[in-house]
């Protein structure tokens, strides 16, 4: 692993880099750069903090100058944090092939979209039950990480039958949330007259993305028990189970897939590492040609389709057996729909406020689960971090400290784009060491930041497997799958805006199917082996 170069001043001033061998602090530094001496041909950590080529580093700096001139970014100075972390900004630059001008357009659009739709207030005040209902209809966090430290998600598309989706569409047609403090009558009138481009059902989905990009990436970044711990975690790994999904069900989900994927690719770029599709029905190769047209080509390039016989052998190369659900050959006991249990790898570091216990079980011997609803990590004066349960219930804001944890690294410098400096969020420690729950005040940008969307894949190339014809360069995720770029051998990233993908399997979109039937095509007919060998899969 390449070692970071000397830090610069004025950029992410409080980021702490951890030694990969001992996990000990190497001190506060600025932006992490690196003299890359060893790197794989594909993917992470190339193009991420600590592993930028001089050209890529220059592109990031040029991008920061451009967004500063546009009034979209405030650089860090002395002890004042920058408005956005380098890890966050780099996602936009990487997604646009390290072309600063292109990244500027996407970043500007995202800033406007976030402001128009009030993403910060949405996450901080969304009804807890509404949030949890949406969580159960989209990829669900397993409470575990892959071998590189990225969060793992599972999505069972079969759960989205027509009855379930009809009920959810009706329920998600509105958003219940507590009214943010400081909301004036004038602001209410302005908001009601604004043309909100994003429908409520999708905004509820993006509240889940705010959780991924904020508290989820933060805790994964903070843990040094992973390769490349100096590089933030900003991507996730996903298992998508499409077993028992009929042809007509795929068709009925097309609008759901397209809308979500388009917005996520535009506003949460480079937050996806891989999608492993398991349980593909026999007709899937037939329909893939038109299904893949629903998604951005870069998203498509992140998908790997696995046969039942190959699922565990491939998954276990990227994920430890104890973190793979039992139904896919692992030992993790995860019931789809449940809130995730606590990862044993760091359970002893968390102290829960309800009974003072630590570990994977509470004082009653029951499995400990993460809190229901949205949360935030807030730094305390003593260096520990409190887990704050936010959102609302019955129209009233929820601001409850539920746990505290000691992180490996100091992440106070991470200003995240999702959970972007929650307005008025302050963390004041009282004499009892617990945060003041009255954390909502006037508008300010001095909120305790949540770490950026972090990075990923420590020693594994993005597109590598040792199986034969088991994978497909494509993507099927009926949720907002964030766009991701493909890294080429020269370290640059290809992000095509073309609507065409490689080798469409059907000449045109077929008419709506009348039944769950199709002539089967062997999986090998569409699957492509990926580059790389055993040596690239270690770590």
pLDDT digits (tens, 9 = 90+) for 126-138: 999 999 999 999 9
Q: What is the pLDDT of residues 211-231, one digit of tens each?
A: 999 999 999 999 999 999 999
Tokens of 209: 């993305």
pLDDT of residue 8: 34
pTM of the model: 0.72
Q: What is the pLDDT of residues 234-247, one digit of tens each?
A: 999 999 999 999 88
Q: Which helix (H) or strand (E) holds 221?
A: helix 217-222
The sign of the CA dihedral 380, 385, 386, 389 is positive
User: Are residues 384 and 350 in contact, defined by beta-carbon separation less than 8 angstroms?
Assistant: no
The domain segmentation of the chain, as residue ranges, is 15-114, 115-171+199-454+458-536
User: Are residues 480 and 212 in contact, defined by beta-carbon separation less than 8 angstroms?
Assistant: no
User: Are residues 327 and 150 in contact, defined by beta-carbon separation less than 8 angstroms?
Assistant: no
Q: How far is CA 43 from CA 6, 77, 213, 392, 491, in A?
A: 24, 32, 20, 39, 8
Residues of the chain with pLDDT under 70: 1-42, 182-196, 409-539
Same fold, 15-114 and 115-171+199-454+458-536: no
Domain 15-114, second-level architecture: Orthogonal Bundle (1.10)
Tell me the C-alpha distance between 124 and 382, whole Å: 25
- Does CATH number 1.10.443.10 belong to domain 115-171+199-454+458-536? no
List, in sequence order, every residue forming a beta bridge with 15; answer none if it has no partner: 29
Tell me the C-alpha distance between 302 and 272, whole Å: 8
């Amino acid at each position: 692993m390449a070692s970071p170069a000397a830090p610069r001043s004025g950029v992410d001033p409080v980021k702490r880099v951890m030694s990969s061998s001992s996990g000990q602090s190497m001190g506060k530094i600025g932006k992490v750069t690196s003299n890359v001496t060893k790197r794989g041909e594909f993917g992470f950590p190339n193009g991420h903090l600590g592993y930028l080529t001089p050209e890529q580093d220059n592109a990031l700096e040029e991008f920061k100058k451009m967004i500063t001139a546009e009034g979209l970014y405030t650089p860090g100075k002395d002890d004042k944090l920058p408005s956005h972390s380098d890890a966050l900004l780099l996602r936009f630059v990487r997604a646009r092939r390290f072309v600063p001008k292109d990244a500027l357009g996407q970043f500007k659009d995202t800033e406007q979209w976030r402001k128009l739709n009030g993403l910060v207030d949405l996450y901080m005040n969304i009804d807890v039950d509404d949030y949890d209902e949406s969580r159960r209809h989209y990829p669900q966090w397993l409470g575990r990480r892959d071998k590189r430290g990225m969060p793992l998600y599972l999505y069972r598309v079969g759960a989205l039958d027509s009855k379930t989706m009809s009920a959810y569409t009706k329920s998600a047609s509105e958003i219940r949330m507590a009214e943010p403090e400081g909301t004036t009558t004038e602001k209410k009138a302005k908001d009601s007259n604004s043309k909100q481009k994003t429908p409520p059902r999708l905004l509820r989905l993006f509240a889940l993305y705010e959780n991924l990009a904020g508290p989820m990436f933060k805790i994964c970044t903070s843990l040094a028990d992973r390769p490349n711990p100096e590089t933030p975690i900003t991507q996730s790994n996903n298992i998508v189970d499409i077993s028992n999904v009929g042809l007509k069900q795929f068709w009925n989900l097309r609008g759901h897939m397209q809308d979500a994927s388009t917005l996520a690719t535009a506003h949460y770029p480079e937050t996806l590492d891989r999608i492993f599709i398991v349980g593909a029905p026999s007709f899937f190769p037939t329909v893939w040609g038109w299904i893949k047209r629903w998604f951005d080509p870069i998203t498509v390039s992140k998908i790997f389709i696995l046969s039942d016989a190959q699922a565990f052998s491939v998954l276990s190369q990227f994920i430890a057996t104890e973190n793979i659900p039992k139904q896919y050959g692992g030992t993790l006991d995860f019931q789809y729909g449940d809130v995730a249990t606590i990862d044993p790898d760091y359970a002893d570091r968390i102290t829960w406020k309800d009974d003072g216990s630590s570990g994977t079980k509470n004082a009653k011997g029951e499995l400990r689960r993460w809190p229901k609803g949205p949360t935030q990590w807030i730094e305390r004066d003593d260096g520990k971090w409190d887990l704050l349960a936010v959102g609302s219930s019955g129209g009233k804001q929820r601001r409850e400290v539920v746990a505290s944890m000691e992180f490996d690294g100091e992440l106070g410098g991470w200003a995240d784009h999702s959970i972007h400096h929650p307005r008025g969020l302050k963390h004041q420690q009282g004499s009892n060491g617990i945060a003041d729950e009255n954390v909502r005040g006037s508008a300010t940008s001095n909120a305790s930041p949540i770490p950026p969307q972090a990075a990923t894949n420590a020693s594994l190339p993005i597109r590598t497997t040792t199986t034969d014809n088991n994978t497909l360069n494509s993507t099927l995720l009926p949720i907002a799958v964030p766009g991701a770029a493909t890294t080429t051998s020269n370290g640059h990233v290809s992000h095509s805006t073309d609507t065409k993908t490689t080798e469409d399997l059907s000449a045109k979109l077929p008419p709506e199917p009348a039944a769950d039937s199709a002539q089967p095509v062997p999986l090998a007919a569409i699957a492509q082996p990926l580059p790389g060998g055993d040596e690239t899969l270690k770590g």
